[in-house]
Each structure stands twice: as structure tokens, then as C-alpha cells.
Homo-oligomer: A and B are copies of this chain.
Amino acid sequence: MSEPILFYFDFTSPYSYIVSEKIDALAEARGRQVRWRPILLGAVFKALGTVSLVKQPDKAGYSLRDFLRSARFHGLPYVHPADFPVSTVAPARAYYWLHGRDCALARRFAHGVFRAAFVDGRDISTAATTLDVAVAAGADRADIEAGMNDPAIKDRLRAETDAALAAGVFGAPWLVVDGEPFWGADRLPQVEHWLRTGGF
């Protein structure tokens, strides 16, 4: 079995949402697994001194148009959240807590968070939304509440974000296939071609 695909993302990233809906099936068709790794893109931007597309006045209008159009292109529902972008510390910590307990549950939770943001337009920055989504995915409310405040989980999220930075990640979604980095949902065709051909 070949190496798993690494998928770095931030839950508030629209293009990460698109990849989240596509990457597992794409990988499975080629006998690959995917390691999902939420990171804090805000911390990445801060470390690099860069700014989100949506916070650049000349690019914000185009970006919103492209989020909506790209979702339609991929056949996905898309509602642009009223608060955007938001902090994703709460769902990212919850993800790593759940992941330590049950990988499949963590995956369902991650889909739930993305869809809460981009299908239902909910504010995913709050502990309340995180808890709702976790419970809907099958988690125990008291357990996940404790987990989100676990110091080891806080450290884990920081460490994953630092590891992404150290690996050269400067945006999200970011996929790594056989050591090859791919930035952006628009690189999915190249990822598919890479998996099909064994690299090109």
C-alpha cells in the first residue's frame, strides 16, 4: 500500500471545504488513504507576514465570486458564512481529541464542521457549534467538552500548525502526495493525474 495523502486544511477555508468533499473518494479510487490535518491558517499567515485573499481589497470581490462558482463547478452546495473568516481553534482542537479516540468519528465530525460553515452558514468559531456538530457525529458531549480544554490537545494543534509551516505550507488546502506538495482545490486534477500515473 502506498503512502497516505496528507491533507492540511483550515475549517474556515472555502477551497478546503471543496477538497474535503472530494479527496477521500479520489484517493480511495487509487488505493490510498488520506490523513486529515486541520491547522490554523491565521497562525501560518501571521508567521509568514502574509494576508488572506479575502482581506485584500482588490481580490475580495473576485474571491467570493470564485468560491461560489467553484462550488457549483464541483456540484457542491455553498452558502457564504456571514462571519468569515473565523477562528477555528475550537473545531480544530475537537478534531484532534476525537481523532485520538476514533478516526472515523473524527472524519464525520470534520465533514460536519465544514458543512455547518458552508452549507448551513453557521458560525463554526464557537464552542457551542463545535459541540453540536460533535454530538451529531456521535461524540459524547461531556467528553468532547473536556477534550477541547485538554492542554495536550492545545499543544497538538500548535504542533501540527508548526509542522505544516516547517513543511513549507503557506496556504490551504494543501495536499502532499508522495512528498509532492499541491496547493489549492484547483490542483485536484493534478493530484488525480499524479495518483493515476505514479507521478509526472
Contacts and interface: CB of A to CB of B under 8 A. Distances in A.
Interface of A: 48, 50, 56, 58-59, 61-62, 65-66, 69-70, 72-73, 168, 170, 180-181, 183-184, 186-187, 189-190, 193, 200
A66 B200 contact: no
Q: How many monomers of this chain does the complex have?
A: 2
- SS class of chain A's interface: helix, strand, loop or mixed? helix
Nearest to A70: B190
A72 B181 contact: no
Given A48-B58, A69-B190, 13 more contacts: A58-B168, A59-B170, A62-B168, A62-B170, A62-B181, A65-B181, A69-B180, A69-B200, A72-B200, A73-B190, A73-B200, A184-B186, A189-B189
Contacts of A69: 180, 190, 200
